[in-house]
């Protein structure tokens, strides 16, 4: 239940006055802190608070953004693409857990797991794990149970087939692969749930930094496969969470 609906339910039950409800709704939709304008209504509109993209921001800017969110009552903040050096500086001022492999910082706590079922994160190879961890941690932060199936690429097809039970039980699958990106089509051909394909920049010269995998996934003949941008684990994890929580709407 989003904040606006909860507020209206409280008005209906008589727990909150109309005047107080109007005051809450009139609060400014964003906070201008000079170098950033924080979207304070994102959680009301989309069900999840604004996520901080760490790349390109200084540690001091990230700390300022986190403090501003905390002042507005948002205690749990997700920070993506956060390098270890900045993370160390942020942790000096904020209570943050840092996940080095996925380059993710979480201030506060992950939401309790919920939704329709499990999100399966599958990778073609071990080299795809950093992107997979970005997806998995994003999904966990947003309140999902995540099952990781790593290094199950098509070069050894039996590795995928050994995990058919997990694939069959998933509510949504994130298939992450570089090289030729064939994993998404294979998983899409055996799963009865939506598959989100993530091309990675893993591969040799002719993979063109992930463009080959991207084009293969876009041209997948398996139905029910959608594609996000190269190395966009965050986008895949976020979308997977939205699909998994459709029953909450």
Q: Is 148 in the same domain as 34? A: no
Q: Is 158 in the same domain as 137? A: yes
- Between 127 and 153, the more confident residue is 127
Last residue of a domain, one of 89, 107, 125: 107
pLDDT of residue 38: 78
Q: Is 123 in the same domain as 229? A: yes
Q: Is 242 in the same domain as 120? A: yes
| pLDDT (tens digit per residue) in 11-61 | 888 888 888 877 776 666 777 778 888 777 777 777 788 889 999 999 999
Give the list of residues 6+ apart from residue 185 with CB closer than 8 angstroms, or none.
Answer: 216, 217, 220, 221, 222, 225
**What's the total number of domains in the chain?**
2
pLDDT of residue 19: 83
Last residue of a domain, one of 107, 133, 150: 107
Residue 244, judged by CB atoms within 10 A of its CB (0-12, 13-18, 19+), counts as buried
pLDDT of residue 5: 75
Q: CA 148, CA 99: separation in Å to the nearest integer?
A: 16
Computed on alpha carbons and rounded to an integer, the radius of gyration of the chain in Å comes to: 20
Evaluate if residue 1 carries a pLDDT over 60.
no
Q: Are 130 and 101 in contact (CB under 8 A)?
A: yes
Q: CA 84, CA 17: separation in Å to the nearest integer?
A: 47
Q: Name the pTM for this structure.
A: 0.87
Q: 213 in a domain, yes or no?
A: yes
Last residue of a domain, one of 85, 107, 129: 107
Evaluate if residue 203 carries a pLDDT over 60.
yes
Domain extent, residue 77, equals 27-107
Q: Is 87 in the same domain as 123? A: no
Q: Coil, strand or helix: which one is 117?
A: strand
CATH of the domain at 140: 3.40.50.1970
Q: Is 172 in the same domain as 210? A: yes
For residue 140, give the DSSP letter.
Answer: H
Q: CA 120, CA 110: separation in Å to the nearest integer?
A: 18
**φ, ψ of residue 24 in degrees (nearest 5):** -65, -40
| pLDDT mean over 71-92 | 92
Evaluate if residue 234 carries a pLDDT over 90.
yes
Give the list of residues 6+ apart from residue 31 with CB closer than 8 angstroms, or none.
Answer: 37, 38, 40, 68, 72
If we measure between CA atoms, which residue out of 63, 46, 45 comes closest to residue 54? 63
Q: CA 153, CA 213: separation in Å to the nearest integer?
A: 13
Q: Is 79 in the same domain as 141? A: no
Mean pLDDT score of the chain: 90
| pLDDT (tens digit per residue) in 137-196 | 999 999 999 999 999 988 888 898 898 999 999 999 999 999 999 999 999 999 999 999
| pLDDT mean over 112-123 | 95
pLDDT of residue 70: 87
| pLDDT mean over 125-143 | 97
Q: Is 129 in the same domain as 36? A: no
């Amino acid at each position: 239940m989003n904040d606006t609906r909860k507020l209206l339910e409280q008005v209906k039950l008589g727990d909150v006055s109309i005047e107080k409800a109007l005051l809450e709704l009139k609060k400014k939709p964003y906070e201008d802190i000079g170098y950033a304008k924080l979207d304070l209504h994102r959680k009301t509109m989309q069900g999840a608070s604004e996520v901080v993209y760490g790349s390109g921001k200084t540690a001091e800017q990230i700390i300022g953004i986190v403090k501003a969110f905390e002042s507005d009552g948002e205690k749990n903040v997700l920070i993506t693409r956060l390098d270890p050096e900045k993370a160390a500086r942020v942790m000096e001022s904020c209570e943050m857990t840092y996940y080095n492999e996925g380059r993710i910082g979480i201030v506060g706590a992950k939401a309790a797991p919920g939704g329709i079922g499990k999100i399966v994160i599958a990778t073609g190879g071990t080299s795809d794990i950093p992107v997979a961890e970005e997806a998995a941690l994003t999904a966990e932060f947003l309140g999902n149970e995540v099952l990781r199936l790593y290094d199950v690429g098509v070069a050894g097809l039996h590795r995928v087939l050994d995990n058919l039970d997990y694939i069959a039980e998933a509510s949504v699958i994130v298939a992450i692969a570089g090289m030729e990106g064939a994993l998404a089509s294979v998983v899409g051909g055996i799963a009865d749930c939506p598959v989100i394909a993530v091309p990675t920049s893993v591969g040799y010269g002719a993979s063109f930094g992930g463009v080959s995998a991207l084009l293969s996934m876009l041209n997948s003949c398996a139905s029910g496969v959608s594609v996000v941008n190269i190395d966009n684990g965050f986008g895949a994890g976020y979308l997977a969470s939205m699909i998994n929580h459709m029953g909450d709407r």
